[in-house]
A = this chain, B = another copy of it.
Amino acid sequence: MDFTTILSALAEPNRLKIVELLRKGPLTVGEISDQLHIRQPQASKHLRVLNKAGVVEFTVDANRRIYMLRSEPFTSLDLWLKEYRDIWEEKFDNLDRYLQDLQIRENKENDN
């Protein structure tokens, strides 16, 4: 599943709300559209996008579908985020690094 696909699935406010809801447990389409105060077709459409992105899955219960979160996109996000950990933990000073790098590049330019 493409990473940007996951991100744009989550970037839509109502879809993010759906994910927040599903965090507490599986829900039917009707319950989702009720709790979010959106119409059923829009809920279905948003769930379709989330499903395509691999964010949710569902099981069929006769007439209804019970949607729930999948774990994969979250592990995927976490994995991606890990690679930025030294940045957001600020183990080094961004400005320092910038000045170093700038220095290097200016020198390269002078070589030409």
Please report A residues at the B interface, Cβ cutoff 8 Å: 3-4, 7-8, 10-13, 16, 23, 25-26, 31, 59, 61, 66, 68-69, 71-72, 74-75, 77-78, 81, 83-84, 87-90, 94-95, 97-98, 101-102, 105
Task: Report whether B81 and A81 are in contact in the complex, using a CB–CB cutoff of 8 Å.
Answer: yes
- Subset of 18 A-B contacts with CB under 8 Å: A3-B16, A4-B16, A7-B7, A7-B10, A7-B16, A8-B8, A25-B97, A26-B94, A26-B97, A26-B102, A31-B105, A68-B98, A71-B87, A71-B88, A72-B88, A74-B87, A75-B88, A81-B81
- Which partner residue on chain B sits nearest A66 by CB separation? B98
Copies of this protein chain in the complex? 2
**Chain B residue, CB-CB nearest to A31:** B105
Q: When the two chains form their complex, are residues A23 and B84 in contact, meaning their CB atoms are under 8 A apart?
A: yes
